[in-house]
Amino acid sequence: MATVTFNGATRLYPGSEKPAVDHLSLDINDGEFLVLVGPSGCGKSTSLRMLAGLEQVDDGTVYIGDDDVTYVPPKDRDIAMVFQNYALYPHMTVADNMGFALKIQGVPREKIRERVVDAAKILDLEPYLDRKPKALSGGQRQRVAMGRAIVREPRVFLMDEPLSNLDAKLRVQTRTQIASLQKRLGITTVYVTHDQTEALTMGDRIAVLKDGLLQQVGMPNEMYSSPANAFVAGFIGSPAMNLGRWRLVGNAAVYGDSSLPVPSSVANSVTREDNGQIIVGFRPEALSWNSNDTYTPGSDEGAPLGKIPLKVTLVEELGSDAYVYGHVVGADREVDKFGSGDGSDLVTIRIEPDRVPAPGEVILVEPNPDRIHFFSASGGERIN
Protein backbone atom coordinates (compact mmCIF):
# COMPACT_ATOMS: atom_id res chain seq x y z
CA MET A 1 0.00 0.00 0.00
CA ALA A 2 1.09 3.57 -0.62
CA THR A 3 0.03 7.18 -0.93
CA VAL A 4 -0.40 8.78 -4.35
CA THR A 5 0.52 12.39 -5.14
CA PHE A 6 -0.09 14.48 -8.23
CA ASN A 7 2.07 17.60 -8.00
CA GLY A 8 1.09 20.05 -10.74
CA ALA A 9 0.79 17.18 -13.23
CA THR A 10 -0.06 18.37 -16.74
CA ARG A 11 -0.77 16.54 -19.99
CA LEU A 12 -0.89 18.46 -23.27
CA TYR A 13 -1.62 16.32 -26.31
CA PRO A 14 0.27 17.18 -29.52
CA GLY A 15 -1.71 19.55 -31.71
CA SER A 16 -3.89 20.72 -28.83
CA GLU A 17 -3.74 24.24 -27.42
CA LYS A 18 -5.43 23.35 -24.14
CA PRO A 19 -4.10 20.74 -21.67
CA ALA A 20 -6.22 17.64 -21.16
CA VAL A 21 -5.09 17.79 -17.52
CA ASP A 22 -3.96 21.18 -16.27
CA HIS A 23 -1.65 21.35 -13.23
CA LEU A 24 -3.42 18.66 -11.21
CA SER A 25 -2.35 18.71 -7.56
CA LEU A 26 -3.95 16.00 -5.46
CA ASP A 27 -2.92 13.93 -2.43
CA ILE A 28 -4.44 10.47 -1.99
CA ASN A 29 -4.01 8.80 1.38
CA ASP A 30 -2.67 5.32 2.02
CA GLY A 31 -5.55 2.84 1.76
CA GLU A 32 -8.01 5.46 0.52
CA PHE A 33 -10.66 4.89 -2.13
CA LEU A 34 -10.64 8.08 -4.21
CA VAL A 35 -13.04 8.59 -7.11
CA LEU A 36 -12.19 10.85 -10.04
CA VAL A 37 -15.47 12.01 -11.55
CA GLY A 38 -16.58 14.43 -14.21
CA PRO A 39 -18.20 14.67 -17.64
CA SER A 40 -16.69 13.14 -20.77
CA GLY A 41 -13.49 14.90 -21.77
CA CYS A 42 -12.78 16.37 -18.35
CA GLY A 43 -9.38 14.63 -18.00
CA LYS A 44 -10.19 11.96 -15.43
CA SER A 45 -9.04 8.96 -17.53
CA THR A 46 -5.98 10.90 -18.68
CA SER A 47 -5.10 11.54 -15.02
CA LEU A 48 -5.41 7.83 -14.26
CA ARG A 49 -3.28 6.91 -17.28
CA MET A 50 -0.61 9.41 -16.18
CA LEU A 51 -0.51 7.63 -12.83
CA ALA A 52 -0.28 4.27 -14.61
CA GLY A 53 2.51 5.49 -16.92
CA LEU A 54 0.39 5.06 -20.05
CA GLU A 55 0.43 8.81 -20.72
CA GLN A 56 3.49 10.98 -20.42
CA VAL A 57 3.57 13.88 -17.96
CA ASP A 58 4.45 17.12 -19.74
CA ASP A 59 4.88 19.12 -16.56
CA GLY A 60 4.83 18.42 -12.82
CA THR A 61 5.44 15.12 -11.04
CA VAL A 62 3.63 11.98 -9.93
CA TYR A 63 4.55 10.06 -6.77
CA ILE A 64 3.58 6.62 -5.50
CA GLY A 65 4.63 6.54 -1.87
CA ASP A 66 7.99 8.29 -1.66
CA ASP A 67 8.95 7.26 -5.19
CA ASP A 68 8.88 9.74 -8.05
CA VAL A 69 7.34 7.62 -10.84
CA THR A 70 6.90 10.44 -13.37
CA TYR A 71 9.21 8.77 -15.87
CA VAL A 72 9.17 5.20 -14.53
CA PRO A 73 7.87 2.54 -17.00
CA PRO A 74 4.39 1.17 -16.19
CA LYS A 75 5.71 -2.33 -15.38
CA ASP A 76 7.93 -0.92 -12.63
CA ARG A 77 5.27 1.13 -10.84
CA ASP A 78 3.72 -1.75 -8.85
CA ILE A 79 0.17 -0.89 -9.87
CA ALA A 80 -2.69 -3.02 -11.17
CA MET A 81 -5.30 -1.65 -13.55
CA VAL A 82 -8.88 -2.74 -14.23
CA PHE A 83 -10.17 -1.59 -17.62
CA GLN A 84 -13.63 -0.82 -18.93
CA ASN A 85 -13.59 -3.68 -21.45
CA TYR A 86 -12.22 -6.38 -19.07
CA ALA A 87 -9.33 -7.22 -21.48
CA LEU A 88 -9.46 -10.98 -20.81
CA TYR A 89 -7.71 -13.54 -22.99
CA PRO A 90 -10.53 -15.55 -24.64
CA HIS A 91 -8.45 -18.74 -25.10
CA MET A 92 -7.41 -18.90 -21.42
CA THR A 93 -9.39 -20.21 -18.47
CA VAL A 94 -10.40 -17.94 -15.61
CA ALA A 95 -7.51 -19.27 -13.52
CA ASP A 96 -4.99 -18.68 -16.31
CA ASN A 97 -6.31 -15.15 -16.91
CA MET A 98 -6.02 -14.28 -13.25
CA GLY A 99 -2.52 -15.69 -12.90
CA PHE A 100 -1.06 -14.61 -16.24
CA ALA A 101 0.76 -11.52 -14.95
CA LEU A 102 2.40 -13.60 -12.21
CA LYS A 103 3.44 -16.20 -14.79
CA ILE A 104 5.15 -13.48 -16.85
CA GLN A 105 6.97 -12.36 -13.70
CA GLY A 106 8.32 -15.88 -13.20
CA VAL A 107 6.40 -16.60 -10.01
CA PRO A 108 6.40 -20.37 -9.20
CA ARG A 109 3.32 -22.28 -10.38
CA GLU A 110 2.35 -23.36 -6.86
CA LYS A 111 2.44 -19.76 -5.63
CA ILE A 112 0.35 -18.59 -8.58
CA ARG A 113 -2.28 -21.23 -7.91
CA GLU A 114 -2.39 -20.27 -4.22
CA ARG A 115 -2.94 -16.59 -4.99
CA VAL A 116 -5.52 -17.32 -7.69
CA VAL A 117 -7.55 -19.58 -5.39
CA ASP A 118 -7.41 -16.99 -2.59
CA ALA A 119 -8.65 -14.26 -4.93
CA ALA A 120 -11.35 -16.57 -6.33
CA LYS A 121 -12.65 -17.17 -2.80
CA ILE A 122 -12.89 -13.44 -2.19
CA LEU A 123 -14.73 -12.87 -5.48
CA ASP A 124 -16.94 -16.00 -5.44
CA LEU A 125 -15.23 -17.30 -8.58
CA GLU A 126 -14.17 -20.73 -7.34
CA PRO A 127 -16.77 -22.64 -9.43
CA TYR A 128 -15.62 -20.87 -12.61
CA LEU A 129 -11.82 -21.25 -12.49
CA ASP A 130 -11.80 -23.79 -15.33
CA ARG A 131 -14.21 -21.90 -17.55
CA LYS A 132 -13.28 -19.55 -20.37
CA PRO A 133 -14.54 -15.94 -20.53
CA LYS A 134 -17.19 -16.67 -23.18
CA ALA A 135 -18.97 -18.94 -20.66
CA LEU A 136 -19.27 -16.13 -18.08
CA SER A 137 -21.74 -13.30 -17.57
CA GLY A 138 -20.66 -9.67 -17.74
CA GLY A 139 -20.50 -9.37 -13.97
CA GLN A 140 -18.41 -12.54 -13.68
CA ARG A 141 -15.99 -11.30 -16.33
CA GLN A 142 -15.61 -8.07 -14.41
CA ARG A 143 -14.82 -10.04 -11.25
CA VAL A 144 -12.18 -12.00 -13.17
CA ALA A 145 -10.59 -8.70 -14.19
CA MET A 146 -10.67 -7.67 -10.53
CA GLY A 147 -9.13 -10.99 -9.54
CA ARG A 148 -6.30 -10.50 -12.00
CA ALA A 149 -5.52 -7.21 -10.27
CA ILE A 150 -5.82 -8.67 -6.76
CA VAL A 151 -3.35 -11.52 -7.31
CA ARG A 152 -0.72 -8.95 -8.24
CA GLU A 153 -0.84 -7.60 -4.66
CA PRO A 154 0.01 -4.10 -5.95
CA ARG A 155 0.57 -0.91 -4.02
CA VAL A 156 -2.22 0.86 -5.93
CA PHE A 157 -5.39 -0.26 -7.76
CA LEU A 158 -6.42 1.80 -10.79
CA MET A 159 -9.95 1.34 -12.17
CA ASP A 160 -11.10 3.02 -15.37
CA GLU A 161 -14.94 2.95 -15.54
CA PRO A 162 -15.06 -0.80 -14.83
CA LEU A 163 -18.86 -0.94 -14.53
CA SER A 164 -19.92 0.94 -17.65
CA ASN A 165 -20.50 -2.23 -19.69
CA LEU A 166 -22.88 -3.78 -17.14
CA ASP A 167 -26.66 -3.44 -17.05
CA ALA A 168 -28.18 -1.15 -14.41
CA LYS A 169 -29.08 -3.82 -11.83
CA LEU A 170 -25.74 -5.61 -12.10
CA ARG A 171 -23.90 -2.31 -11.93
CA VAL A 172 -25.48 -1.54 -8.54
CA GLN A 173 -24.64 -5.01 -7.24
CA THR A 174 -21.04 -4.94 -8.51
CA ARG A 175 -20.26 -1.47 -7.20
CA THR A 176 -21.13 -2.58 -3.65
CA GLN A 177 -18.87 -5.61 -4.12
CA ILE A 178 -15.97 -3.45 -5.30
CA ALA A 179 -16.36 -1.01 -2.41
CA SER A 180 -16.54 -3.84 0.14
CA LEU A 181 -13.55 -5.57 -1.44
CA GLN A 182 -11.45 -2.41 -1.30
CA LYS A 183 -12.24 -1.95 2.39
CA ARG A 184 -11.28 -5.58 3.03
CA LEU A 185 -7.96 -5.39 1.16
CA GLY A 186 -7.08 -1.85 2.26
CA ILE A 187 -5.23 -1.09 -0.97
CA THR A 188 -5.09 2.50 -2.19
CA THR A 189 -7.55 2.78 -5.07
CA VAL A 190 -8.12 5.44 -7.72
CA TYR A 191 -11.43 4.90 -9.48
CA VAL A 192 -12.58 6.80 -12.58
CA THR A 193 -16.24 7.20 -13.48
CA HIS A 194 -18.61 9.67 -15.14
CA ASP A 195 -21.46 8.36 -12.97
CA GLN A 196 -21.82 10.66 -9.96
CA THR A 197 -24.04 8.08 -8.20
CA GLU A 198 -21.10 5.65 -8.24
CA ALA A 199 -18.88 8.42 -6.90
CA LEU A 200 -21.21 9.25 -4.00
CA THR A 201 -21.76 5.63 -2.97
CA MET A 202 -18.25 4.21 -3.39
CA GLY A 203 -15.60 6.80 -2.61
CA ASP A 204 -14.02 7.81 0.68
CA ARG A 205 -13.42 11.09 -1.13
CA ILE A 206 -14.41 12.47 -4.51
CA ALA A 207 -12.38 14.68 -6.86
CA VAL A 208 -14.44 16.51 -9.49
CA LEU A 209 -12.76 17.59 -12.72
CA LYS A 210 -13.93 19.86 -15.52
CA ASP A 211 -11.97 20.78 -18.65
CA GLY A 212 -8.80 19.35 -17.13
CA LEU A 213 -9.06 21.43 -13.98
CA LEU A 214 -9.71 20.13 -10.47
CA GLN A 215 -12.90 21.75 -9.16
CA GLN A 216 -13.25 20.32 -5.65
CA VAL A 217 -12.05 17.44 -3.48
CA GLY A 218 -13.99 16.23 -0.47
CA MET A 219 -16.06 13.58 1.22
CA PRO A 220 -19.30 12.60 -0.55
CA ASN A 221 -21.60 14.36 1.95
CA GLU A 222 -19.44 17.49 1.76
CA MET A 223 -19.63 17.57 -2.04
CA TYR A 224 -23.39 17.14 -1.87
CA SER A 225 -24.17 19.67 0.84
CA SER A 226 -21.44 22.28 0.26
CA PRO A 227 -20.43 22.34 -3.43
CA ALA A 228 -17.56 24.73 -4.10
CA ASN A 229 -19.06 26.14 -7.28
CA ALA A 230 -22.09 25.97 -9.54
CA PHE A 231 -20.58 23.24 -11.74
CA VAL A 232 -20.06 20.85 -8.81
CA ALA A 233 -23.53 21.73 -7.49
CA GLY A 234 -25.15 20.81 -10.79
CA PHE A 235 -23.05 17.72 -11.44
CA ILE A 236 -23.26 16.00 -8.06
CA GLY A 237 -26.67 14.65 -7.11
CA SER A 238 -29.48 12.77 -8.86
CA PRO A 239 -31.87 14.27 -9.80
CA ALA A 240 -29.65 17.27 -10.37
CA MET A 241 -29.89 20.43 -8.31
CA ASN A 242 -32.34 23.07 -9.55
CA LEU A 243 -29.94 25.76 -10.66
CA GLY A 244 -29.93 29.00 -12.65
CA ARG A 245 -29.50 32.77 -12.73
CA TRP A 246 -31.94 34.96 -10.82
CA ARG A 247 -32.11 38.77 -10.78
CA LEU A 248 -31.00 40.41 -7.53
CA VAL A 249 -33.45 43.10 -6.41
CA GLY A 250 -32.38 44.49 -3.05
CA ASN A 251 -32.17 41.53 -0.70
CA ALA A 252 -34.33 39.28 -2.84
CA ALA A 253 -33.60 37.01 -5.79
CA VAL A 254 -36.35 37.27 -8.42
CA TYR A 255 -37.28 34.86 -11.21
CA GLY A 256 -40.62 35.02 -13.00
CA ASP A 257 -43.35 35.30 -10.34
CA SER A 258 -40.96 34.04 -7.63
CA SER A 259 -38.84 35.88 -5.12
CA LEU A 260 -36.55 34.39 -2.49
CA PRO A 261 -34.90 36.19 0.42
CA VAL A 262 -31.13 36.59 0.10
CA PRO A 263 -28.99 37.07 3.23
CA SER A 264 -27.37 40.49 3.41
CA SER A 265 -23.90 38.95 3.49
CA VAL A 266 -24.63 37.20 0.20
CA ALA A 267 -26.23 40.23 -1.46
CA ASN A 268 -23.27 42.40 -0.43
CA SER A 269 -20.88 39.91 -2.07
CA VAL A 270 -22.36 40.46 -5.53
CA THR A 271 -19.93 42.44 -7.68
CA ARG A 272 -20.23 44.64 -10.75
CA GLU A 273 -19.14 41.70 -12.91
CA ASP A 274 -22.25 39.77 -11.79
CA ASN A 275 -24.41 42.32 -13.65
CA GLY A 276 -27.13 42.32 -10.99
CA GLN A 277 -27.54 38.54 -11.08
CA ILE A 278 -26.90 35.64 -8.73
CA ILE A 279 -26.98 31.90 -9.31
CA VAL A 280 -29.54 30.22 -7.04
CA GLY A 281 -29.66 26.48 -6.41
CA PHE A 282 -31.66 24.05 -4.29
CA ARG A 283 -32.04 20.30 -4.46
CA PRO A 284 -35.37 18.54 -5.17
CA GLU A 285 -35.65 17.30 -1.58
CA ALA A 286 -35.07 20.81 -0.18
CA LEU A 287 -38.54 21.89 -1.35
CA SER A 288 -41.79 21.36 0.50
CA TRP A 289 -45.36 21.48 -0.83
CA ASN A 290 -48.49 22.24 1.14
CA SER A 291 -51.44 21.10 -0.95
CA ASN A 292 -53.61 23.75 0.74
CA ASP A 293 -51.52 26.61 -0.70
CA THR A 294 -52.92 28.03 -3.90
CA TYR A 295 -51.70 30.57 -6.42
CA THR A 296 -53.39 32.29 -9.35
CA PRO A 297 -50.99 33.16 -12.20
CA GLY A 298 -51.09 36.78 -13.34
CA SER A 299 -51.06 38.31 -9.86
CA ASP A 300 -49.44 41.75 -9.94
CA GLU A 301 -47.70 41.10 -6.64
CA GLY A 302 -46.35 37.70 -7.66
CA ALA A 303 -46.06 34.78 -5.28
CA PRO A 304 -45.42 35.35 -1.56
CA LEU A 305 -41.77 35.95 -0.67
CA GLY A 306 -39.97 32.63 -0.23
CA LYS A 307 -42.41 30.58 -2.32
CA ILE A 308 -42.21 29.44 -5.93
CA PRO A 309 -45.25 28.86 -8.16
CA LEU A 310 -44.84 25.88 -10.48
CA LYS A 311 -47.07 24.78 -13.32
CA VAL A 312 -46.87 20.99 -13.15
CA THR A 313 -45.81 19.25 -16.36
CA LEU A 314 -45.17 15.68 -15.22
CA VAL A 315 -45.42 13.55 -12.10
CA GLU A 316 -43.37 10.38 -11.55
CA GLU A 317 -44.62 8.12 -8.78
CA LEU A 318 -41.89 5.73 -7.64
CA GLY A 319 -43.62 4.09 -4.67
CA SER A 320 -41.49 5.49 -1.86
CA ASP A 321 -41.25 8.94 -3.44
CA ALA A 322 -42.82 11.05 -6.13
CA TYR A 323 -41.03 13.51 -8.39
CA VAL A 324 -42.90 16.52 -9.70
CA TYR A 325 -41.61 18.44 -12.72
CA GLY A 326 -42.84 21.88 -13.63
CA HIS A 327 -42.06 25.33 -15.01
CA VAL A 328 -41.73 28.38 -12.79
CA VAL A 329 -44.73 30.60 -13.47
CA GLY A 330 -43.50 33.68 -15.31
CA ALA A 331 -40.32 32.00 -16.55
CA ASP A 332 -41.22 33.06 -20.11
CA ARG A 333 -40.29 36.62 -19.12
CA GLU A 334 -36.75 35.60 -18.19
CA VAL A 335 -33.73 35.30 -20.47
CA ASP A 336 -32.01 32.52 -18.53
CA LYS A 337 -33.37 29.05 -17.85
CA PHE A 338 -33.84 27.67 -14.35
CA GLY A 339 -34.24 23.97 -13.74
CA SER A 340 -32.73 20.61 -12.86
CA GLY A 341 -29.96 19.59 -15.29
CA ASP A 342 -27.91 21.37 -17.95
CA GLY A 343 -30.05 23.69 -20.04
CA SER A 344 -33.29 22.48 -18.45
CA ASP A 345 -36.20 24.77 -17.60
CA LEU A 346 -38.03 22.10 -15.61
CA VAL A 347 -37.83 22.39 -11.84
CA THR A 348 -37.81 19.06 -9.99
CA ILE A 349 -39.23 18.54 -6.50
CA ARG A 350 -39.42 15.36 -4.42
CA ILE A 351 -42.56 14.87 -2.34
CA GLU A 352 -44.35 12.18 -0.38
CA PRO A 353 -46.35 9.88 -2.66
CA ASP A 354 -49.61 9.91 -0.68
CA ARG A 355 -50.93 12.95 -2.54
CA VAL A 356 -49.55 14.30 -5.80
CA PRO A 357 -50.63 17.23 -7.98
CA ALA A 358 -52.07 16.73 -11.45
CA PRO A 359 -50.36 17.86 -14.66
CA GLY A 360 -51.45 21.39 -15.52
CA GLU A 361 -52.04 22.31 -11.85
CA VAL A 362 -50.26 25.35 -10.42
CA ILE A 363 -48.71 24.66 -7.02
CA LEU A 364 -46.72 26.70 -4.52
CA VAL A 365 -43.49 25.15 -3.26
CA GLU A 366 -41.19 26.48 -0.59
CA PRO A 367 -37.41 25.93 -0.45
CA ASN A 368 -35.85 25.41 2.96
CA PRO A 369 -33.95 28.70 3.51
CA ASP A 370 -31.05 26.82 5.12
CA ARG A 371 -30.64 24.63 2.04
CA ILE A 372 -30.56 27.30 -0.66
CA HIS A 373 -27.18 27.66 -2.34
CA PHE A 374 -25.89 30.92 -3.81
CA PHE A 375 -23.11 31.23 -6.39
CA SER A 376 -21.46 34.10 -8.21
CA ALA A 377 -23.09 34.79 -11.57
CA SER A 378 -19.74 35.78 -13.11
CA GLY A 379 -17.36 33.13 -11.76
CA GLY A 380 -19.67 30.44 -10.45
CA GLU A 381 -17.89 30.17 -7.09
CA ARG A 382 -19.89 29.57 -3.93
CA ILE A 383 -21.02 32.59 -1.89
CA ASN A 384 -21.32 31.72 1.81
State whether 225 and 170 are in the same domain.
yes
User: Residue 365's pLDDT is what?
Assistant: 95
DSSP bridge partners of 82:
159
State whether 186 and 329 are in the same domain.
no
pLDDT band of 255, cuts 50, 70, 90: very high
Domain assignment of residue 318, given as a range: 232-376
Specify the amino acid at residue 120. A
pLDDT band of 323, cuts 50, 70, 90: very high
Please say which residue of 203, 231, 259 terminates a domain.
Answer: 231
User: Residue 295's pLDDT is what?
Assistant: 87
Q: H-type helices in the chain, by residue range?
A: 44-52, 94-104, 109-123, 138-150, 168-185, 196-202, 220-225, 230-235, 264-267
35: nearest Cα among 24, 25, 48: 48
State whether 141 and 247 are in the same domain.
no
Peptide bond into 239 cis (omega under 30): yes
Q: What distance in Å separates the CA atoms of residue 75 and residue 52, rounded to the nearest whole number?
A: 9
Q: Which of 172-186, 255-269, 363-377 has the lowest mean pLDDT?
A: 172-186
Residue pLDDT, tens place only, 225-234: 999 999 999 9
| CB-based contacts of 315-319 (< 8 A; 24+ apart in sequence) | 315/356, 315/357, 315/358, 315/359, 317/353, 317/356, 318/353, 319/353
210: nearest Cα among 42, 379, 369: 42
pLDDT surpasses 90 at 245: yes
Is 83 or 218 the better-scoring residue by pLDDT? Answer: 218
pLDDT surpasses 80 at 118: yes
State whether 221 and 185 are in the same domain.
yes
pLDDT surpasses 90 at 176: no
DSSP string, 133-165: GGGS-HHHHHHHHHHHHHTT--SEEEEESTTTT
Q: What distance in Å separates the CA atoms of residue 30 and residue 10, rounded to the nearest whole number?
A: 23
pLDDT surpasses 90 at 1: no
Considering 27-41, 171-185, 300-314, the range whose residues carry the highest mean pLDDT is 27-41
pLDDT surpasses 80 at 298: no
287: nearest Cα among 374, 367, 370: 367
Give the CATH number for residue 173.
Answer: 3.40.50.300
